[in-house]
Amino acid sequence: MQKFLTGLFFLTLFGLSSSNLLAQESEQLKQQYKRPLEIPFPVNAPYSPQLATLGKMLFFDPRLSGNKDLNCASCHNPSFGYEVPIKTPIGTTKTPLDRQAPTLLNIAWVTSLFWDGRALTLEKQAEGPITAKVEMAGKFDIIIERLEEISEYEKWFKKLFPQKGIAKDTILTAIATYERTIVSEWAPFDRWVEGDEAALSPAQKRGFEVFNGPGKCASCHTGWLFADNQFHDIGLSTTDIGRGKIEPNNVFAQHGFKTPTLRELTHRAPYMHNGSLTTLQDVIELYNSGGIKRISRSPLITPLNLSKQQKSDLIAFLKSLTAERNNVTMPILPN
Ligand code: HEC
Ligand code: HEC
């Protein structure tokens, strides 16, 4: 009897402390996904609401393109999570580009830009699409002339940049400032992290465990951004060497692409740098199989052998990263 009681006592004690430990661990895990409260504006490009408003006007203004036919939103459409619902977007020459447009959501937290990380600041990046012949095919001298003829733009620039007025770098500064304000809305997942247990369904909570456990997704899709700002070859079928162009001697850079955020995924299909995967099911099947085995493939990618239930829980979880509501107002542009 004595022995039995002590045994029971130890069992209970052990049982309790291990479940406490589990609860503690899961709380710690959740805390790694807490949203930041402020946008990190660079010291040399501080936020001002006027500057962001001007930048938003320019972002939506097709007069920045050679033929006045495309704006930034032509390929980064807010209705589709700042992407386009086709494999790769089409520029002014009507030919599909080589890569899908990455989302601009939470771009202020992204440390290297483009799928291969070849641009380091949003200011520098924005020059690319405006002038590229296959994208907007704009010329800055013409754009500046056009904007100078629009008195409201003239006034905005004079007020915000008394010395420089309308110039290439002031246009790029304004656009970049607006881009940094593009932040994904609070999603059910964020409310769960903040303590609202009812915000996620049981399947979504199980999916979070798969994401951090057997799915190994969190080794690259880290933190509230769900991205580590690093480059990896995940074994996707592609002829594009991605980061390999920038780091030709690094084996692991070949077919390496920047980890994209997983926020607002449900609006952002098709997926990957080449838009080759149509649904989230396709994405999970790729990871489950481990994709193409080649020397560049990340050591973090191996076949997963997830059960049917684990796969559907994972998809349910990914859907909890999309906000229920997300309204974007279009600016009325001056003439
Ligand atoms: C014709 C389509 C098209 C237009 C127009 C366009 N983009 Fe893009 N954008 C892309 C594509 C495609 C990429 C990815 C290219 C790559 O990685 O090689 C991209 C990449 C980006 C990135 C990098 C995002 C990241 O996560 O690395 C930013 C920022 C961006 N564009 C902003 C803009 C801005 C600002 C404008 C307007 C001035 C603009 N884009 C116009 C297609 C377009
Ligand atoms: C080794 C790092 C790594 C791991 C592990 C990883 N990913 Fe990814 N993920 C990436 C990279 C890099 C891309 C972009 C690849 C490309 O376009 O070629 C990506 C793309 C995606 C996309 C497409 C997003 C878009 O914008 O098109 C989804 C969805 C995704 N991953 C979900 C997951 C899930 C779910 C898991 C776990 C089963 C996972 N990832 C594991 C690095 C990783």
Spell out which residues line ligand 1, taking CB within 6 angstroms. Answer: 70, 72, 74-76, 89, 91, 97, 99, 101-102, 104, 107, 110, 113-115, 122, 125-126, 129-130, 135-136, 175, 179
Give residue 259 CA to ligand 2 midpoint distance, Å. Answer: 6
Question: Atom 9 (ligand 1): residue with closest C-alpha?
Answer: 101
Is 5 a residue whose pLDDT tops 60? no
Token digits of residue 22:
């589990």
Is 221 a residue whose pLDDT tops 70? yes
Residue 270 CA: which ligand 2 atom is closest? 27
Integer Cα distance of 108 and 182 in angstroms: 8
Contacts of 314 (CB under 8 A, 6+ apart): 207, 210, 211, 215, 217, 284, 306
Given pLDDT bands bounded at 50, 70 and 90, which one contains residue 6?
A: very low
Integer Cα distance of 141 and 23 in angstroms: 61
Given pLDDT bands bounded at 50, 70 and 90, which one contains residue 248?
A: very high
For the stretch 82-92, pLDDT in tens is 999 999 999 99
Rounded to an integer, the average pLDDT of 201-213 is: 97
Rounded to an integer, the average pLDDT of 56-68 is: 98
Q: What percent of the chain has pLDDT over 70?
A: 94
Rounded to an integer, the average pLDDT of 201-210 is: 97
* 5 burial level (CB within 10 Å; 0-12, 13-18, 19+): exposed
Ligand nearest to the CA of 276: 2
- Residue of 135, 225, 230 to test ligand 1 pocket, by largest number of atoms within 8 Å of CB: 135
Ligand nearest to the CA of 235: 2
Q: Give the pLDDT confidence score for residue 42 in this predicted structure.
A: 94
Token digits of residue 90:
């089409």
C-beta atoms surrounding 215 within 10 Å? 23
Any atom of ligand 2 within 6 Å of the Cβ of 220: yes
Q: Give the pLDDT confidence score for residue 3 in this predicted structure.
A: 47
Integer Cα distance of 323 and 303 in angstroms: 31
Q: Report phi then psi at 310, rounded to 5.
A: -60, -40
For the stretch 96-146, pLDDT in tens is 999 999 999 999 999 999 999 999 999 999 999 999 999 999 999 999 999
Is 12 a residue whose pLDDT tops 70? no
Question: Atom 6 (ligand 2): residue with closest C-alpha?
Answer: 217
Q: Give the pLDDT confidence score for residue 58 in this predicted structure.
A: 98
Contacts of 200 (CB under 8 A, 6+ apart): 188, 189, 192, 208, 317, 320
Give residue 217 CA to ligand 2 midpoint distance, Å. Answer: 7
For the stretch 16-53, pLDDT in tens is 566 777 788 888 999 999 999 999 999 999 999 999 99
Give residue 145 CA to ligand 2 midpoint distance, Å. Answer: 43
Is 1 a residue whose pLDDT tops 60? no
